[in-house]
Amino acid sequence: MLLILRLLSQVRRNLSTKGLELLARNTTPPVCVSELETISCSKPLETSPKGLMSKIPLIASVLSLTLPVFAASFSLSGNYRFGTNMLVNTDLADGKKPGAGNTSSFLEQRFLLRPDVLIDERFTIKSELNFLQANNVNGANDVPPFFGTPLDSNTSQQTLQDQLIVSQLYLNWASDWGLFRFGRIPKSWGLGLLYDAGEDAFDDFKTIRDRADFQAMLGSLGLRFGFEKGAEGVINGDFDDVDTYELAIDYSNAEGSSNVGILYSRNIRSQKVGGLNSSHDVSIFAKKAWNKFQLGGEFVSISEEDRNASTGFLAQVDGTLGNFRLGYDFAYASASSNSGFKFNPNYRPFMFLFRQSLGSSPAATEFRNGRGVGSDVAGDGGAGALVNKINASYQFAGSQLTLGSDFGFASLGKKGSNGESGLGFETDVFVSHQWYENFKLQYALGLLVPGKAFGSDPKATWGFELKGALSF
């Protein structure tokens, strides 16, 4: 490499000298273009330059030979989504809630912009900007805002700053040994029980970590080592830190139809963060796809210090029969007296259950923030979950329209103060319209008949939503 650079430098000096001599003779030199480590020259232009102005292109071409050239390109991708809905009786009670009514309706939007800097074939700086995702100081992914939030009388400089968030920024270095990444990085694994990067335009949540990791590929086998800084308070002390050490191994066959993996992480929490102690986390997943059938499953175990171990499991089966598509989900989240497993909040099997705030306890008609699978959905101290869902859809031939339905029921793993575990039955019907390759709309109507975990006589809730996404 040093020899090449020296030869290149000598060539540039020679070309520069010849170019100046040509200037003195008032002739036109060959036009040479320099790109990184290569120089190409075309035939001389047959012109008769006269005066200083005619020599400007010649001077520029000569000077370009004496300057180093380092080029970087930019890549823009992302998506814009919008939506509106009307949800009726989410407090699951008779009559109207005083001062709030029994209907929740709002507009929302979000814009994700991913500007990437492509330096060369080895180095890339990737980033993501999140517009209008959060409307309070607690950060992104808490409560997606409705239109009007930045303009009302309660807006402050602090809340306005939350309307634009740099959610990702990291370096990709593709070396001869593997892929090295450093920065604020999206993270996904398996079926998404623990980690989900939120790549779908309709996802509200993302798993993002400040980390450094290295992934090596040995044929079809992938090895990944990672270190994360979950929290860092005082720099010269570790009494308020959260450190994660991670090892993952996965295998994917050449056709990509089979994929299995195991992940282990050691989380060292100097103090409770989010109510969690230091833990050992293990996840095992497997996915298999055939021509018209696919099967996947993931099992997760979390062993916290001074607490009972918690486990989560998700199994998914999908099949295609002509224009019909059928699927089944089974989800389980354990719960005990001092621990409970919670699914990643991006797993939202229904329109109401595990997605909207329900019941009288969480002021359901006043904000949008559902509780995920395994959480205290009914607000009575219960935990854990058992979910069964069947989904069916039909794509009309020669059309971009798909008609589908989700039906299922769920229960708590551990009863709360209401003394019941049933969360109810839900039926959702949707129409998906793929207008163009990069633009789609979805219309949905849902009905939840709640169980007695929400109280002795809960009332049904229903609603509809319209959402769209433009990707680029």
* 199-228 pLDDT tens trace: 999 988 888 899 999 999 888 899 999 999
> What local confidence, expressed as pLDDT, does residue 154 receive?
39
- Bigger pLDDT: 58 vs 100: 100
Residues 65-91 as b or e (16 or more Cβ within 10 Å = b): beeeeeeeeeeeebbbbbbbbebebbb
- Bigger pLDDT: 400 vs 153: 400
Q: What is the pLDDT of residues 104-145, one digit of tens each?
A: 777 788 899 999 999 999 999 999 998 876 544 343 333 334
- Sequential DSSP letters for 148-160: TGGGSTT--HHHH
- Sequential DSSP letters for 422-445: EEEEEEEEEEEEEEETTEEEEEEE
> What local confidence, expressed as pLDDT, does residue 52 receive?
41
Q: What is the pLDDT of residues 434-467, one digit of tens each?
A: 999 999 999 999 999 999 999 889 999 999 999 9
Q: For residue 91, what pLDDT band results from cuts at 50, 70 and 90?
A: confident
> What local confidence, expressed as pLDDT, does residue 276 receive?
82
Contact of 283 with 310, CB cutoff 8 Å: no
Amino acid occupying residue 61: S
Instruction: From residue 41, give the alpha-carbon distance in Å to each of 15, 35, 56.
Output: 11, 12, 18
Residue identified by tokens 């696919």 is 294
Confidence check: pLDDT of 324 > 60: yes
**Beta pairing, strands 179-186 & 208-218:** antiparallel
Confidence check: pLDDT of 262 > 80: yes
Residue intervals of the chain classified under CATH 2.40.160.100 are: 76-471
> What would the mean pLDDT of 30-37 be, rounded to a whole number?
36
Confidence check: pLDDT of 15 > 80: no
Q: Of 59-73, 90-104, 192-206, which gets the smallest average pLDDT?
A: 59-73
Measure the CA angle with vertex 69, ends 114 and 44; round to 5°. Answer: 125
Confidence check: pLDDT of 306 > 60: yes
> What local confidence, expressed as pLDDT, does residue 240 receive?
72
Q: Percent of the chain beyond pLDDT 70?
A: 74
Q: Which residues, other chains included, contact 418 with Cβ-Cβ below 8 Å and sequence gap of 6+?
A: 378, 380, 382, 452, 453, 454, 455, 456
Residue identified by tokens 């959260």 is 242
> What local confidence, expressed as pLDDT, does residue 371 receive?
80
Q: What helix, strand, coil percent values describe the chain, rounded to 5?
A: 10, 50, 40
Q: For residue 182, what pLDDT band results from cuts at 50, 70 and 90?
A: very high
Phi, psi of 383 (to 5 degrees): -155, 175
> What local confidence, expressed as pLDDT, does residue 145 receive?
41
Share the mean pLDDT of the chain: 79
Q: How far apart are CA 341 and CA 332, in angstroms?
A: 9
Q: Which residues, other chains included, contact 353 with Cβ-Cβ below 8 Å and sequence gap of 6+?
A: 377, 410, 423, 424, 426, 448
Q: How far apart are CA 70 and CA 366, in angstroms?
A: 54
> What local confidence, expressed as pLDDT, does residue 33 receive?
36
> What would the mean pLDDT of 382-405 be, rounded to a whole number?
94
Read off the DSSP letter of residue 452: G
Query: What count of other Cβ atoms lies within 10 Å of the Cβ of residue 172?
Result: 18
Confidence check: pLDDT of 56 > 50: no
> What would the mean pLDDT of 343-367 be, rounded to a whole number?
78
Contact of 341 with 335, CB cutoff 8 Å: yes
Q: Of 20-34, 119-133, 154-168, 196-210, which gets the smallest average pLDDT?
A: 20-34
Residues paired with 213 in a beta bridge: 181, 226
- Name the residue among 343, 332, 425 with its Cα closest to residue 386: 332
Instruction: Kindly report the CATH class assigned to 76-471.
Output: mainly beta
